Structure 1
Amino acid sequence: MTFARANPALNFPAPLDAMPRRLNRRVAIVLAVLGLHVAAVWALQSGLLRRAMDMVIPVQVLTEMIELPQPVVEPAPPAPPPPVAARTPPKPKPRPIPQPQPQPVAAPEPMPLAPVVPPAPPAPVSIPEPVVAVAAPPAPPAPPAPPRIELPTSNADYLKNPPPPYPPLSKRLGEQGRVVVRIFIQADGTASRAEVKRSSGFERLDQVAVQTVLRWRYVPGKRAGVPEAMWVEAPIDFVLK
């Protein structure tokens, strides 16, 4: 009855409803049962009943029938294979060393007997002569120190030697320079000889210098404190002022 109410298209046609109410109730029930069977057969043939059953299936049944997707579990990566130990090449077996075969030893030949030599007489022992120490000769005496030499000089104040005169002509001509004169001084302090060792470049100045040193007085030269005649050099300057 519920299925018939839910599908109004399966209700019986109007003529059944218009049947007179005086029909027997039992006849009505029989007719209703027959109509239901006819409708069920028709629904099975047309597939309507199956669609209705699909619609009426509770949601809970559908959820129980549908399995939830399970999480995909990735398999663990395979463990790396254990390292293979490097194979060491087998050591070559040492070859057996052939043992040397013993060689036959020849019997030694008998050595000839050496002649017996009588011992030599002992050599005479020489007695060394006594050594006489010879004294070394005395060292020669050291040479005496050279005597002290003092050269003559004309610079003593007490001698009062005048300067050389300047030639007037040399002044007018502007002649000047130094003359080095070599003088031989006697033991009494007088000059016996004089000569020009280095010229001034002017003859007049050289001659005046030689004449002047011959007139001077000198302190004589000395050797070991004793006056002695000797040579000495004296510079003479001619300078215009």
Structure 2
Amino acid sequence: MKATPVIHAGNFQKGRDWAAAAGLALLINLLLFAALPAVKLPPAPAAEPYRQPGPVTVTRLRPSRPLPAPAPLVKPSVPEKKPEATAPARSVPAVKKVPAVSPEPVETTRPDSGAETTPEAPPVPAGPQVFDAMDLDSPLVPVFRKPPVYPAHAKRRNIQGWVTVSFLVDAKGRVTDVTVTESDPESIFDDSVIQCVSGWRFKPGTIAGRPVVTKVTTTIRFELKADE
């Protein structure tokens, strides 16, 4: 046997009601859409033209009440210092006056004019005048001038140097007052130079034909030769 579907009358009635409601709603929407063009909206208000703001005036208002004057500065009152009580001055006993004693006059006696007096010492005679070599009329002439001895310790160490020496040549041609003024190296050749120069002899220089004392300054060099 074939199965035949059974359609209930109640379900069919519900479908018809739903279709009728949907058709009614569609009809209402169509009517509203058709009526929209007929509705006139009010025109939009016209925009006002732009106005440039005018100049701004600033008015300075004065205060209605005057400002109160500043209060005067009040200096702090300094309390007056009370005078300190001072102790009463002690009375000083009166000093008895002592009579001044005047010294007795001393008698002075003048020496007799005939008394002997101590003779004054004679003045010390001045030394001979010293002249420079450029002041001479005739120059100094060496008579004996032996060279200095090269110190052995300086020769062993290959030390070379020089000595500047000054001295006086008296009126007889002898050398005195030998003094080393400068040397390099110091104190290496000084003694050899002093001993050597002290034995030199000269023919004295003259001024106006008279021999005079002359000051001389010379430099003696110590140099090693190749064969030494």
Larger radius of gyration: 1
TM over 0.5, shorter chain: no
TM norm structure 1: 0.35
Kindly indicate whether structure 1 or structure 2 has the higher relative contact order, using CA contacts under 8 Å at least 6 residues apart. 2
Q: Which structure dedicates a bigger proportion of its chain to helix? A: 1
Q: Which structure dedicates a bigger proportion of its chain to strand? A: 2
